[in-house]
A and B are shown apart, each in its own frame.
Chain A
Amino acid sequence: DGGITQSPKYLFRKEGQNVTLSCEQNLNHDAMYWYRQDPGQGLRLIYYSQIVNDFQKGDIAEGYSVSREKKESFPLTVTSAQKNPTAFYLCASSIHKGANEKLFFGSGTQLSVL
């Protein structure tokens, strides 16, 4: 999947628990993104980062947090404040934020609530 590794493939969250989804890329891309996929709703942007140590909220950031301490890593934490976390989470990257740059996607993490 284009040099982006997401782990784990499946993750289960207990009530009140924070969980962290890993995303690592070896493409030397500047920009990274987290999308949430729900059936019939397409993909919705959670957070994005255009450069190390900087990130911005997307359309549905509430209940999520991220960090970008290294260029190759962009972990997503699903906090207990996210009341409906069950979804398929996709991480993506692009060379930079330019308008004509395509996104490369990881293979996703399926998060479910126990």
Chain B
Amino acid sequence: AQSVAQPEDQVNVAEGNPLTVKCTYSVSGNPYLFWYVQYPNRGLQFLLKYITGDNLVKGSYGFEAEFNKSQTSFHLKKPSALVSDSALYFCAVRDASNTGKLIFGQGTTLQVKP
């Protein structure tokens, strides 16, 4: 069965420092991976996706993610964190049934302190 895991409930980082939010996946076949961000009491916003090709994917708001097939990971990164990046981040994988469903990780809260 397809699944994703986000091993950290919360990540704390100082403003201006690089940040990493971790995600590992388990799929049968080719992985289709996504990152979404959620601000308080709002819906999710798409950040980036990996379908195929370059292992480094660039997305919105300066975020990027590195796909690592051997480690089955898809970590979200940003070179310099902003206080406004503080939010809940979800990693997701496309369900193998080709129904368009996404399977989400449990989420990681990112706290960026000034």
Give residues in A with beta carbon < 8 Å to B.
1-2, 4, 6, 31, 33, 35, 40-45, 48, 50, 56, 58, 90, 92, 94, 96-108, 110
B100 pairs with A90, CB closer than 8 A: no
Closest CB-CB distance, A85 to chain B, in whole Å? Answer: 18
A105 pairs with B102, CB closer than 8 A: no
Given contacts A48-B101, A50-B100, contact A104 B32 (CB under 8 A): no
B98 pairs with A108, CB closer than 8 A: no
- Interface residues of B, dominant DSSP: loop
> CB-CB contacts of B17-42 with A at 8 A, as 1s and 0s?
00000000000000010101000011
Most chain-B CB neighbours within 10 Å: which of A40, A103, A104? A103
Complex: A50 Cα to B36 Cα, angstroms:
22
Given contacts A42-B90, A94-B100, A99-B98, contact A106 B105 (CB under 8 A): no
A98 pairs with B100, CB closer than 8 A: yes
In the complex, whether B43 has a CB less than 8 A from a CB of chain A is: yes
In the complex, whether B45 has a CB less than 8 A from a CB of chain A is: yes
Give residues in B with beta carbon < 8 Å to A.
9, 32, 34, 36, 41-46, 49, 51, 90, 94, 98-102, 104-107
B90 pairs with A108, CB closer than 8 A: no
Given contacts A56-B99, A99-B32, contact A43 B104 (CB under 8 A): yes
Q: Please name all residues of chain B whose beta carbon is closer than 8 Å to the beta carbon of A42 when the two chains form the complex.
A: 90, 104-107
Complex: A44 Cα to B95 Cα, angstroms:
13
Most chain-A CB neighbours within 10 Å: which of B9, B45, B102? B102
Closest CB-CB distance, B48 to chain A, in whole Å? Answer: 9
Q: Please name all residues of chain B whose beta carbon is closer than 8 Å to the beta carbon of A35 when the two chains form the complex.
A: 104
Q: Please name all residues of chain B whose beta carbon is closer than 8 Å to the beta carbon of A92 when the two chains form the complex.
A: 43-44
